[in-house]
Amino acid sequence: MSMAAPLRIGVVGVGRIGALHAETLSRLDGVSLSLADADPTRAGDAARRLGAATAASPEALLEAGVDALVIATSTQGHVPLLRLAASAGVPAFCEKPVALGLAALTEVRDLVAAAGITVQVGFQRRFDPGYRAARDAVGSGELGNILLVRAATHDSVPPLEAYIATSGGIFRDLSIHDFDAIRYVTGEEIVEVYSDGAVREADWFARYDDVDVAVAVLRLSGGGLGIVSGARHDPLGYDVRLELFGAAESIVVGVDSRSPIRSVEPGVQQAGVGYRNFVERFARAYREELAVFVETVRSGGESACSLEDARAALSVALAADRSREERRPVRVEEVGLARTAPDS
């Protein structure tokens, strides 16, 4: 009996997250890898480490023949590479955010639909056991009426200034994960945002009209409220939580022995060493999302996180940007194509 041919996957971009994705894929059965990066030396080093092939460019990678593409470049490369995947008829996994503006995301969504390819977006929290358990709890009705959700994403240390310069700001880069997670877990849409932010530790954030701490009050389509906090500095580690308060029960995702917060209640045992970064906190989720993508490519199933999901989360982030700028509540439906710059 002949063995099935390996699934040929091309990874474009092998920086921090791309190298993680390539390593994860290399450990999956029945997968062969080819890598491309703007830095040929970096691609070559990663290929030698993982036993993968290399290509001089994304175009060369596709010409050599791949069954799927993993896009892990900077955000500015996502839409052009999705266009390339669509033109080649190749399914793709794309890191978040897909784009910084709605016009570009909508255009590539429509192009992908016309090409008939599957695209999965890298909102890895959807594959974390805690977030999945919370979704199941909401879906079962055991929480009762959802009264309030409270989400937090706090970096241990801020990214490099060069990264922040092109990130799109704290809501599109950081809190967009919370916006997607709230939609995923509750099954509801976020319909209104009232946000604010400040620069508290790193003055250079202001050079990019960005902030290093931010908050947003949300209104959900079911009538419940949400609170989201984002921070670029946490002295005890990387802190990500989602709390759901229902009329029948309350639950939390992200509280464990490594939660980076210190209780001052007498007699309470202190937490262990906090998570250092998102890679450590979501190691299992990163493995699972790519395993799901590979299985989706093989089976031809539906995307576990579609471009429409990415568009919904980006719309909330843009509404939060506008709310901070105009200092008023903003309905998400207000965010139109005319006010989405930079649109790439």
- Residues 204 and 248 placed together within one structural domain of the fold: yes
Same domain? 248 vs 302: no
244 domain residue, yes or no: yes
DSSP secondary structure of 197-238:
EE--S-GGGGGGT--SEEEEEEEETTS-EEEEEEES--TT--
Tallying the residues shown for the chain, one arrives at: 344
pLDDT at 1 (0 to 100): 34
How many domains in the chain?
2
Residues 225 and 246 in one domain: yes
Mean pLDDT by 10 residues, the chain (344 residues): 78 96 97 97 97 97 96 97 98 97 96 98 98 98 98 96 96 98 98 98 97 98 98 96 98 94 85 89 97 97 97 98 98 72 44
Helix, strand, or coil (residue 333): helix
265 with 135, same domain: the answer is: yes
- 258 and 112 within one domain: no
Query: What pLDDT does 339 receive?
Result: 42
Strands in 239-246's sheet, in edge-to-edge order, are 250-253, 239-246, 146-154, 225-231, 213-220, 190-198, 330-331
Angle at CA of residue 341, ends 335 and 342, nearest 5°: 140
In this structure, the answer to whether residues 54 and 144 fall within a common structural domain is: no
This prediction's pTM: 0.95
51 φψ region: left (φ > 0), alpha (ψ -120 to 50), beta (else): left
Give 169: exposed, middle or buried? Use CB within 10 Å, 0-12, 13-18, 19+: buried
Structural domain includes residue 343: no
pLDDT at 341 (0 to 100): 40
The pLDDT assigned to 342 comes to 42
The whole-number pLDDT of residue 272 equals 79
239 and 325 share a domain?
Answer: yes
Range of the domain at 39: 7-124+286-306
Residue 204: which CATH number?
3.30.360.10
Q: Does some domain include residue 144?
A: yes
- From CA 238, how far away is CA 52, in angstroms rounded? 32
- What confidence score (pLDDT) does residue 3 get? 57
